[in-house]
Structure 1
Amino acid sequence: MSASGNKDFRDQLGKFRLDSGPSLPTSWHPPSQSEPSSDAHLARTKRVSTACDFCRKRKKKCDFRYPNCSACTRAGVRCTIPPPGPQVASASVPRDQLENLQKRVQWLEEVVQRKSGIAVADLPTGAPVDGESDPDWWYQVPAMIATGGGRPSATSMSSPAGSGGSSATAGPTGSEASTAVGTELPNVGEIFRDQLEHRRPSVARPKSAPRVLRLSSLEEAERVAGQYFDSMGYQYPFMSRLEFMGHLRHVYTGGVPSPEVHNAYHIILAISLLIGSADATQAAEFYHASQETLPLALQNEDLPAVRALLGLALYTLFATAGPSVWHVLGATMRLATSLGLHKARSSSNLAEEEMAKRAFWSLYNLDRLIASTLGRPLGIADEDISVDLPRELNDDGLEAPGSSAMTIPLQVVRLRRIFSRIYRYLYSSLPRPTPQEAAAMLSHFRREVDDWRMAAPVYPSALLYSTSYYDYLYYTTLLLMYRPSPRNPTPDVTSIVSCGDSSIQVIRSYWDSYSVGKLKWIWLTLSQVYFAGITILWCLEQNARSLRESQPAPWHPDEQMMRRGIQAVVVLLEEFGKRRPGVDRLAETFRHQSTIIFSQMAYQQQQLEAQQQRQQQPPPQPPLVPLQSVSLAAPPPPPVPLAPILDDVLLEDGSGAVPMIDPQMAEQLFYSYNWFQEEMASYYTL
């Protein structure tokens, strides 16, 4: 260390104090003559000796070398200095320890200011920096950290005693800061993040991102992005179309996007390419490019991180590779609730407030859909949600109820809230209600769902999309409500009829999409098609059971429409088998079981017609036979063979065998929902 450096260090060391109280006010005066002489002597002291203990004992001049002076180095002892004031213990400390403590205090002050925006270095010790009397202030901490907000203005903070309020004006101004992190209470989230998970603190993301993939032209990119916003964007509007298109043009004019923009650009195009093209290679390239900036997009607990996880969840919904959509949605829900997105909060920025609402309700819709399909718990209870629904704002910021891009997703959210109550009532471990109570609740839910469908507005820009999507959601909700469930295991006649009719309509929706080449070959489609198909078989089995018991059949479907529905399920399952290995076995099983059900129906119809003919004819006279020729044992009943083929496309067997009819086959098939959910979840790593 140079001589000038030594002098600077001595000057700093001489001025260094380990004061525990607030700094002296500007109006402080030296003690009067009436005060004790010791205090007066301390007040007159202008300089603290910095000679080391070894030199002081030998009464030699110390050259203040750092970290050991020359005398201590020659003597081979550790160079220590006396404490800098009477407030601390009298034990000597190493010369370098004070500088290390000083550097560490400075480092801690910088960490606090970087993470919370509080300039603690400018505040006196003991100054209050918490949220005072606001009980909900802690909910604002994650958002404040994420947006870089600072502490409250100086006028909202009480001045420390004796400071005259002058020191409370230090730090960011009121225009720069509105909230603060309390230092008197521990932030448990920060403790777990830094000490246990070793995650990076909330800091500004880099200004640039790595490589950017581009399509052939800007027009092509806008077309592909438009396909996303015209389909998935209507269902899950967590991304602003106007803002995204602006970033898209910036990228294609040579601009370098930030990490969060880079991630959103690549994942949205990857989703659009995946659902709109038979070749998934290009979609996979955009997906892998998005993963390069995913850690940066997720490094802070903020709204861009929620959007990044939602984009990842949508991609894994359509792709066979990637992380589990169940796990991704779980992490997204934890992050959203930690940010308080499920709570009603006022914000000065209307655009940010609306985008936060759209992100949360998009997550809500996805959570309800995935949980009910897999038979798993909901991610958040409706009672814990107090945030309002988004407003129906156009891209120009004007509110247009019933005629904006938010018309469809808002209507979907309203249905999902009814859907949640149905799911929680029927699919839980609570004691079973009485049949009368279950029937009353189902009737109440049916009125709610019917009112929802009657009041569903149509967005003119997506007329056909909105009406067909509403119908699909309506009938899938009826299926969830009327099919056998843990709390309603024996449905009545109304449930059987509603299950059968709804299943046919669900299959029809998927068949219409398949006919125009717009069917999404994802596990959700496979699940709904399979469930609807086996529900029709279950309803037909209920008809057969009633006939066996000499009761009228509860369900009277249109014969041609019902058979076309079964045929559509067989075709769709076979097409799935060509795209997803393992589904071909499911398609063959369903085809065989359909054959048995229809054969059973035909056999019963033949038996009924024969019985009617016998009733119309006079009974034949029994022939007279000798008594000794009468057998006492009745002959065994003949096996029930397959009836004549009713539909060559569906019921052709070709094996030549004569299978026996299992009356409980459809019942077991219908209750194989749980088996299919587990198989599907394991195969698709859900």
Structure 2
Amino acid sequence: MSSSDKEFRDQLGKFRLENNYASWPPQPQESEVSNPRSKRVSTACDFCRKRKKKCDFRYPNCTACTRAGVRCTIPPPGPQVASASVPRDQLENLQKRVRWLEEVVKRKSGLSVAELPTGTPVEGEGDPDWWYRLPAMVATGGNTSAASVPSPAGSGSSVTAGPSEASTGVGTELPNVGEIFRDQLEHRRPSVARPSSAPRVMRLASLEEAERLAGQYFESMGYQYPFISRPEFIRQLRHIYSGGVPSPEIHNLYHIVIAISLLIGSADPEQAADFYNASQETLPLALQNEDLPAVRALLGLALYTMFATAGPSIWHVLGATMRLATSIGLHKRRSYSSVAEEEMAKRAFWSLYNLDRLIASTLGRPLGIADEDISVGLLRELNDDATEMPGASGMTIPLQVIRLRRIFSRIYQYLYSSLPRLSSQEAATALSQFRREVDDWRMNAPVYPSALLYSTSYYDYLYYTTFLLMYRPSPRNPTPDITSIISCGDSSIQVIRSYWDSYSVGKLKWIWLTLSQLYFAGITILWCLEQNARALRESQPAPWHPEEQTMRRGIQAVIVLLEEFGKRRPGMERLAETFRHQSTTIFSQMAYQQQLDQQSQRSHQPLPPPPPPTCSRTTASLHVFGCTYSPGSTCSGS
């Protein structure tokens, strides 16, 4: 029995609620203070009052009520209250709940309302002078309640910096005033509970079909961007197909995941659009709070725009997502209530990080966040059952991708900036160091047994696209050396080959990023061939010596894939035609140069001008990496 409970029981029969019962506890009246012998008001229970017997006020039942076997109740506090009597213990339960709610308000908002009369306005800061305590915070190391900040996971709890992050006093570290004032500075919207259900749930023909599409998503995009918990998603999926109505954030994720999966499988685009439109109905509710569910909703929208021909700009979506993620502190090392909560926050941030690096480098735009500003740790290799298995977990692939993206980021920031141009020696040294790091990454990157083919082919693709970023002409290294030309050409062929391998087994994802990388690899091959032709015109040896048949197959593969893109995205036919003309012109120049070299060795007679290029589209069939392709057909090999 606590002392507060005993005190309350002792006073239960001594207090009286006035008509203005909002102010509690009641203050003694002036007459009571001056006359301590004033008559005490009795609060005998209803049973004793009816029998006109003295009540001993025992709690929760008096002795008379206990003997009679009836519930001990007391009369209402005033005529303005409902006439029904209330159990004696209900008052104590209500008082406990009031105290608990006051503590919740204080912990969540920093407002102390226990001493405020009911009805007192508490909007704003509560205590308008609380920020004057900042000098004291500096002097004491910042360990005050005002320095706590909302949980980055959006759970509503507050997180205080640990020993390694706390301020240690004047002269060492100042408190983060920006975080202390963040709600006032940013005019942040208060978090409001989302509705418990959302309207218009679209369902597929069966739960089995829905689980198949969900598995298709998690076995492709889920390996790259694991911001959705697969077990939790499947649990919610079964709830939906058992007749349940999901909450807005679950409603949004369910529909956008199914829409993405339908596009991955090249299904009916109208069905995918229907699921996307359904997800948009609850997007405002999913984004109403600045929390982790809002980050997930934006990441799902960004992935959809990578596949769909319509929708918002992925650059704008990722920009908003990065702002939100940094606002709630996902990029920082924080304390969490559980390992699961911490890992899901990490997965959301690193998924955003990977997308940001990919889109920024593809579009030639600045990175959304500098690596120097990131202090959150890397992912743990946890399976769906929360067991940690390094090198053999579903998180093995995204963890290795993150490690490469961090090297990728340093390459991008070093070579693609407005800093002065590098000298030949500086560029060679930097590229050599980056090459060692990328090679070490590829040699040490483990594969995930459940996705062996996927992980190895994906690693190879990332490996060679990183080389293209390194060795192609850049603002700080505009005139690559022979090593760079060779690496560009060889890497381009490997990038095209990896895409062709995916296409030939029906696993190519028809997204605009694929188009960009594929077209760029093809253009890079033509650039390398042009460097060869330039060197020969200057009586210099050609720098790049590819295996000619492999190189020609790479060019033909680009033509085939661009034509296939043209069936899915309007305007690609013209791009394919332009590339075909460029490649034909290069090959014609190469043939003429070879003829020139052969005849110059036999005689010094002048040669006729080179013949006009002929379009390779007239060829009856193209032999591409072991496949035979005829215009208007699909690959007949494997």
Deviation per residue, 1:157-197 (Å, 9 max, x gap): xxxxxxxxxxxxxxxxxxxxxxxxx9999734345436xxx
Q: Alpha carbons of 1:139 and 1:452: their partners in 2 closer, same or farther (altered >3 Å)?
A: farther
Question: Deviations 1:285-319 (Å, cap 9, x if unpaired)?
Answer: 11111111111111111111111111111011111
Matched residue, 2:437: 448
Alpha carbons 1:260, 1:297 under 8 Å: kept: yes
Query: 1:267 is matched by which residue type in structure 2?
Result: I
Q: In the alignment, which of 143, 148, 156 is matched to residue 148 of structure 1?
A: 156
The answer to whether residue 339 in structure 2 is matched with residue 350 in structure 1 is: yes
Matched, 1:555 2:544: yes
State the 1:493 CA deviation: 0.5
Change (3 A) 1:585 1:242: same
User: Which of 201, 209, 221 pairs up with 2:210?
Assistant: 221
Aligned partner of 2:181 in structure 1 is 187
Structure 2 Cα separation of the partners of residues 138 and 606 of structure 1: 81
Once the two structures are TM-superposed, the CA of residue 381 in structure 1 deviates from its matched residue by 0.1
Amino acid at match of 2:386: G
The answer (yes or no) to whether the contact 2:252–2:279 under 8 Å persists in 1 is: yes
* Counterparts of 1:436 and 1:385, CA distance in 2: 31
Aligned counterparts, 1:294-305, within 5 A: 294-305=283-294
Q: Deviation at 1:512?
A: 1.4
Q: Given the two structures, how large is their TM-score scaled by the length of structure 2? A: 0.73
Alpha carbons 2:237, 2:254 under 8 Å: kept = yes
Deviation at 1:400, TM superposition (A): 0.1
Measured in 2, the distance between the counterparts of 1:145 and 1:497 equals: 47
Question: In structure 1, what is the Cα distance between the partners aligned to 2:367 and 2:324?
Answer: 16
Q: Is the 8 A contact 1:408 1:459 kept in 2?
A: yes
Give the whole-Å Cα distance in 2 for the aligned partners of 1:650 and 1:382.
Answer: 51
| Paired amino acid for 2:219 | D
Q: Structure 2: which 5+ runs fail to align?
A: 1-17, 36-100, 117-125, 161-175, 623-638
8 Å contact 1:263–1:294 — kept in the other structure? yes
Q: Is the 8 A contact 1:202 1:300 kept in 2?
A: yes
Q: Provide the residue aligned with 1:279 in structure 2.
A: 268
Unaligned residue ranges in structure 1 (runs of 5+): 1-9, 18-22, 31-39, 46-108, 153-181, 620-634, 653-686
Q: Is the 8 A contact 2:291 2:328 kept in 1?
A: yes
Provide the rounded CA distance (Å) in 2 between the counterparts of 1:312 and 1:144.
21
| Correspondence for 1:400 | 389
CA contact (8 A) 2:147 2:180 kept: no
| Matching residue's letter, 2:552 | R
Residue 334 (str. 1) matches residue 323 (str. 2): yes
1:264 to 253, 261, 266: 253
User: How high is the TM-score relative to the length of structure 1?
Assistant: 0.69
Following the alignment from structure 1 to structure 2, what is the Cα–Cα distance between the partners of residues 491 and 532? 16
Q: List, as ranges, runs of 4+ consecutive aligned residues in structure 1 with deviation greater than 4 Å.
A: 10-13, 123-140, 182-186, 643-648
Task: Name the larger-Rg structure.
Answer: 1
Contact 1:599 1:645 in 2 (8 A): no
Contact 1:260 1:293 in 2 (8 A): yes
CA contact (8 A) 1:591 1:650 kept: no
Partner SS for 2:214: helix
Equivalent position amino acid for 2:183 in 1: G
| CA displacement 1:77-115 (0-9 Å, x = unmatched) | xxxxxxxxxxxxxxxxxxxxxxxxxxxxxxxx99x9399
Selected match of 1:525 from 514, 519, 530: 514
Quickly say closer, same or farther: Cα 1:648–1:501, change in 2 above 3 A.
Answer: farther
Distance 1:643 1:526, change over 3 A: closer
Asked if the contact 1:341/1:360 (under 8 Å) is kept, the reply is: yes
Shift of 1:128: 7.0
Cα separation, partners in 2 of 1:208 and 1:294, compared to 1, 3 Å:
same
2:375 corresponding residue in structure 1: 386
Equivalent residue number for residue 359 of structure 1: 348
Q: CA offsets per residue over residues 599-629 of structure 1, 9 Å max, x none?
A: 00000000111112228xxx9xxxxxxxxxx
Secondary structure, in 3 states, of the residue corresponding to 1:204? Answer: coil
Residue 206 of structure 1 and its aligned partner are, at CA, apart by 1.2
Taking the TM superposition and a 5 Å limit, the aligned residue runs for 1:65-214 are 113=105, 116-118=108-110, 120-123=112-115, 133-134=141-142, 141-143=149-151, 146-149=154-157, 187-190=181-184, 192-193=186-187, 199=189, 201-214=190-203
Q: Within 1, Cα distance between the matches of 2:280 and 2:292?
A: 18
Say whether 1:290 aligns with 2:279.
Answer: yes
Measure how far apart 1:229 and its partner are.
0.3
1:472: how far off? 0.4
Instruction: Name the count of aligned residue pairs.
Output: 513
* Structure-1 separation of matches of 2:615 and 2:155: 69
- CA offset digits 1:642-667 (Å, max 9, x no partner): 47999963999xxxxxxxxxxxxxxx
Deviations 1:186-236 (A, max 9, x none): 734345436xxxx5x201111111121111111111100000000000000
* Corresponding position of 1:641: 611
Shift of 1:141: 2.5
- Asked if the contact 2:535–2:541 (Cα under 8 Å) also holds between the matched residues in 1, the reply is yes
Cα deviation for residue 149 of structure 1 reads 2.6
1:469 equivalenced with 2:469 (yes/no): no
Where does residue 578 of structure 2 map in the other structure? 589
